[in-house]
Chains A and B, each alone.
Chain A
């Protein structure tokens, strides 16, 4: 019963979208479907393809080099190249815009050091799709990098040695053994990248690049919820399409892995050594160091102006809603996981896994999908408990981020196996008692990690928060976005951005530990 209720809540926005999509009351739909929808579709697909290609390029090469070769800074880059994942995409977008626009850092420096003519000569329009793809790729490539690094380091070590013994050179080893064996990991990472691109709102809006999410927001801001829901339905169909394609490709490329042996890192030749260092160094420089230093610089120069009492209120709001929602979401995942395990033989596990579908649903879909049932319940109860409330926003977070805590806990539970449950049953302990007396204390570290991971995701979340937050309620993410969007200057958003990025490095530490082990 508990399981059904949780899964029901998670699937609520999808059902609502299905029902509302067929509503005839859509004032701007005709206009959208005739003039904009194809643009949303092609722009979104183009962005997915562009970012996919760029992230694969950015991720696979350093992962391969770090997994297989010794070169200066290898251990540093192993961690450092994960750091860009801490950058929310919208922050990366406006930071780079602030660096490259006509009044940005590059132009100011060029003007001061080499004169106006030189500054004019090197000026280029940054707000183009190419740079958007690059900016998004900087933030998203670590998903593929981490997956490939783990795969290259663990799964193919012995096969690579075997191919060396058969005379294969390093390029042939990469293409014939390393890459095909890492394909499932690469595709899994790529799937996350695609979902993040489809979920993307802040950066695309900043670049004025029309995708599904910007369409949803435009329709919603114009008060046409039905059109917003219909665009969300098309976006959901696109997300399902990509889910289906990657799922099939992963299944097709799944292979039996060899026993794990430690990889022996090979010394690179001198010029290859320099190239490896340069590739990793430049990637780290552009994907993390330059934007981070720029933000730090801005944060210092705007600190006294921005960090006022209101800023502390926003920071406190963000912290409290994120931590409370993270704790509740983790506890609900814990219950979902054990409820699913208890009725494993009648499909409980599969039913529970429906509960984590939310992570594959872009935030904008969840947000518009949940408005209708919330409005219905609020109207029926003549209350305003859900729509535009902290409680309602937390439910949206639950739907979106349940998968994060569920997967973190599931990994730990799988390591335990079923022996503890069997031992508890043997001692006539009821499953509910066993859950709290045995599993809960053992899983404390995993629960802690799950809370932290969800906490960081909620802190950074933008599209759902923008749609569902209470009136005059801001989080650091919306604050950073608001400053960047309305002031036409990224400088004032820097203090909030720096806090978000620093908190975003916490999952990086866990991820790095996983890779090291």
Chain B
């Protein structure tokens, strides 16, 4: 086990940012902490790397207590790499010096940095200043810099939020490969479900400072604990007290009849709004459906929640 969090609580004044958070992660595993703004995910990340202290509870990394009521190991003493949301590259240092910043002078810095630059496809950009790099290149420098200290644990804070949509998929794949190749354990903090599902072995969902579900993405998709978690993975409709995903709404068959209220083209499909009794349902559909026409529907699979 690389990390264990036991009943971690953190308050800022009257606000409880994290309450009784408990989870663990295995060596080499990648975990995504998923939650909306104010859910406490950034606070958790800052606690893990030592930029904030916990009020109660215990944080153990590699069998060593880093933070509890009586212990606090300063961030520079922890062997944790952090990639900041906007990369925080040192603006006065070039690419090589940025990556070499945390590497001990006693080691063979040049070889180490060169090899990391090769892995992160940055070779040839050694002398460039951060502002001369593209968004994707900056991201890779930040990752190489964090990996250069050979951390036991790597933390990525909203790593793709500053990238264009077109770049995102490419960079995500590259970074996932680099992380897997290096074998480092990794925690990604994000509020994008696609970042979490594409990068992580397990996803931890935070809401209002509480961990509400933690498991593989497939498990959570199939067995969300509540409506909030279910909706993180896409549209959830409700008809007569039954919840189901948009893709489980089958149009053109079944004995119930709905009226088409809207249909527009987006992401390769027609996003369709239907009305059944007083309830609206949403689903993607391959064909345009004329507005105000009636259409039959059935529900392929219901969703059931263990927690209301």
Contact B52–A165 (Cβ < 8 Å):
no
- Give the chain A neighbours of B91 by CB distance below 8 A: 159, 181, 255-258
Contact A165–B146 (Cβ < 8 Å):
yes
Cβ of A162 within 8 Å of any chain B Cβ, yes or no, is: yes
Cβ-neighbour of B86 out of A158, A163, A169 (below 8 A) = A158
Interface of B is mostly: loop
Report the separation of the CA atoms of residues A476 and B56 in the bound assembly, to the nearest whole angstrom: 61
Contact B84–A161 (Cβ < 8 Å):
yes
Contact B51–A180 (Cβ < 8 Å):
no
Interface string of A162-191 (1 = CB under 8 A from B): 111111110000001100110100000000
Interface string of B100-123 (1 = CB under 8 A from A): 011000000000000000000000
Contact A167–B92 (Cβ < 8 Å):
no
Q: Least Cβ distance of A250 to chain B in Å?
A: 13
- Give the chain B neighbours of A181 by CB distance below 8 A: 90-92
Cβ of B82 within 8 Å of any chain A Cβ, yes or no, is: yes
Q: Least Cβ distance of B143 to chain A in Å?
A: 13
Contact A180–B92 (Cβ < 8 Å):
yes
Contact A264–B88 (Cβ < 8 Å):
no
Contact B80–A256 (Cβ < 8 Å):
no
Report the separation of the CA atoms of residues A79 and B165 in the bound assembly, to the nearest whole angstrom: 46
Given known A166-B149, A264-B51, contact A161–B88 (CB-CB < 8 A): yes
Report the separation of the CA atoms of residues A183 and B52 in the bound assembly, to the nearest whole angstrom: 28
Report the separation of the CA atoms of residues A389 and B148 in the bound assembly, to the nearest whole angstrom: 70
Given known A181-B91, A255-B92, A256-B131, contact A165–B101 (CB-CB < 8 A): no
Q: Least Cβ distance of B59 to chain A in Å?
A: 16
* Cβ-closest chain A residue relative to B145: A166
Contact B51–A161 (Cβ < 8 Å):
yes
Report the separation of the CA atoms of residues A163 and B92 in the bound assembly, to the nearest whole angstrom: 13
Q: Least Cβ distance of A368 to chain B in Å?
A: 42
Report the separation of the CA atoms of residues A180 and B92 in the bound assembly, to the nearest whole angstrom: 7
List residues of A (373-392) whose CB comes within 8 Å of B's CBs.
none
- Give the chain B neighbours of A168 by CB distance below 8 A: 76, 101-102
Cβ of A253 within 8 Å of any chain B Cβ, yes or no, is: yes
Cβ of A259 within 8 Å of any chain B Cβ, yes or no, is: yes
Cβ of B40 within 8 Å of any chain A Cβ, yes or no, is: no
Contact A162–B76 (Cβ < 8 Å):
no
Report the separation of the CA atoms of residues A164 and B130 in the bound assembly, to the nearest whole angstrom: 19
Cβ-neighbour of A158 out of B49, B84, B130 (below 8 A) = B84
Report the separation of the CA atoms of residues A191 and B176 in the bound assembly, to the nearest whole angstrom: 49
Report the separation of the CA atoms of residues A162 and B82 in the bound assembly, to the nearest whole angstrom: 7
Q: Least Cβ distance of B144 to chain A in Å?
A: 12
- Give the chain A neighbours of B82 by CB distance below 8 A: 161-162, 165
Contact B102–A167 (Cβ < 8 Å):
yes
- Give the chain B neighbours of A255 by CB distance below 8 A: 91-92
Q: Least Cβ distance of B129 to chain A in Å?
A: 8
Report the separation of the CA atoms of residues A365 and B142 in the bound assembly, to the nearest whole angstrom: 52
Contact A164–B76 (Cβ < 8 Å):
yes
Report the separation of the CA atoms of residues A163 and B101 in the bound assembly, to the nearest whole angstrom: 8
Q: Least Cβ distance of B77 to chain A in Å?
A: 8
A interface residues, how many (CB within 8 angstroms): 23
Contact B88–A167 (Cβ < 8 Å):
no
Contact B90–A177 (Cβ < 8 Å):
yes
Q: Least Cβ distance of A172 to chain B in Å?
A: 9
Cβ of B209 within 8 Å of any chain A Cβ, yes or no, is: no
Report the separation of the CA atoms of residues A158 and B130 in the bound assembly, to the nearest whole angstrom: 15
Cβ of B81 within 8 Å of any chain A Cβ, yes or no, is: yes
Most chain A beta carbons < 10 A, residue from B90, B102, B130 = B90
Most chain A beta carbons < 10 A, residue from B49, B86, B88, B130 = B88
- Give the chain A neighbours of B102 by CB distance below 8 A: 163, 165-168
- Give the chain A neighbours of B51 by CB distance below 8 A: 161, 164-165, 264
Q: Least Cβ distance of B290 to chain A in Å?
A: 44
Report the separation of the CA atoms of residues A346 and B82 in the bound assembly, to the nearest whole angstrom: 49
Range for the number of chain B residues in contact with chain A: 20 to 34
Report the separation of the CA atoms of residues A166 and B146 in the bound assembly, to the nearest whole angstrom: 7
Q: Least Cβ distance of B239 to chain A in Å?
A: 44
Cβ of B75 within 8 Å of any chain A Cβ, yes or no, is: yes
Report the separation of the CA atoms of residues A167 and B150 in the bound assembly, to the nearest whole angstrom: 11
Report the separation of the CA atoms of residues A177 and B146 in the bound assembly, to the nearest whole angstrom: 16
Q: Least Cβ distance of B237 to chain A in Å?
A: 39
Contact B88–A256 (Cβ < 8 Å):
no
* Cβ-closest chain B residue relative to A157: B88
Report the separation of the CA atoms of residues A380 and B77 in the bound assembly, to the nearest whole angstrom: 78
Contact A165–B75 (Cβ < 8 Å):
yes
Contact B49–A165 (Cβ < 8 Å):
yes
Contact A258–B88 (Cβ < 8 Å):
yes
Interface string of B68-101 (1 = CB under 8 A from A): 0000001111001110101010111000000001
Report the separation of the CA atoms of residues A393 and B76 in the bound assembly, to the nearest whole angstrom: 59
Interface string of A213-256 (1 = CB under 8 A from B): 00000000000000000000000000000000000000001011
Q: Least Cβ distance of A259 to chain B in Å?
A: 6
Contact A167–B86 (Cβ < 8 Å):
no
Contact A158–B101 (Cβ < 8 Å):
no
Interface string of B284-303 (1 = CB under 8 A from A): 00000000000000000000
* Cβ-closest chain A residue relative to B79: A167
- Give the chain A neighbours of B101 by CB distance below 8 A: 163, 166, 168, 176
- Give the chain B neighbours of A158 by CB distance below 8 A: 84, 86, 88
Report the separation of the CA atoms of residues A164 and B81 in the bound assembly, to the nearest whole angstrom: 10
Report the separation of the CA atoms of residues A307 and B140 in the bound assembly, to the nearest whole angstrom: 71
Q: Least Cβ distance of A163 to chain B in Å?
A: 7
* Cβ-closest chain B residue relative to A164: B75
- Give the chain B neighbours of A183 by CB distance below 8 A: 92
Most chain A beta carbons < 10 A, residue from B80, B91, B149 = B91
- Give the chain A neighbours of B148 by CB distance below 8 A: 166
- Give the chain B neighbours of A257 by CB distance below 8 A: 91
Contact B75–A258 (Cβ < 8 Å):
no
- Give the chain A neighbours of B90 by CB distance below 8 A: 159, 162-163, 177, 181
List residues of A (251-289) whose CB comes within 8 Å of B's CBs.
253, 255-259, 264
- Give the chain A neighbours of B76 by CB distance below 8 A: 164-169
- Give the chain A neighbours of B92 by CB distance below 8 A: 180-181, 183, 253, 255
Contact B84–A162 (Cβ < 8 Å):
yes
- Give the chain B neighbours of A164 by CB distance below 8 A: 50-51, 74-76
Contact A258–B81 (Cβ < 8 Å):
no
Q: Least Cβ distance of A253 to chain B in Å?
A: 7
- Give the chain A neighbours of B130 by CB distance below 8 A: 256
Report the separation of the CA atoms of residues A176 and B100 in the bound assembly, to the nearest whole angstrom: 12
Q: Least Cβ distance of B16 to chain A in Å?
A: 19
Most chain B beta carbons < 10 A, residue from A164, A177, A257, A259 = A164
Interface string of B36-59 (1 = CB under 8 A from A): 000000000000011110000000
Report the separation of the CA atoms of residues A257 and B101 in the bound assembly, to the nearest whole angstrom: 18
* Shortest Cβ-Cβ A-B pairs, 6 listed: A166-B102, A255-B91, A162-B88, A165-B82, A164-B75, A158-B88
A-B contact pairs, 15 of them (CB 8 A): A159-B88, A159-B90, A162-B82, A164-B50, A165-B49, A165-B75, A165-B81, A165-B82, A166-B149, A176-B101, A181-B92, A183-B92, A256-B130, A259-B86, A264-B52
Other than A161-B84, A164-B75, A165-B146, give 10 A-B pairs with Cβ distance below 8 A: A158-B84, A161-B88, A164-B50, A164-B76, A167-B77, A168-B76, A169-B76, A255-B92, A256-B91, A259-B86
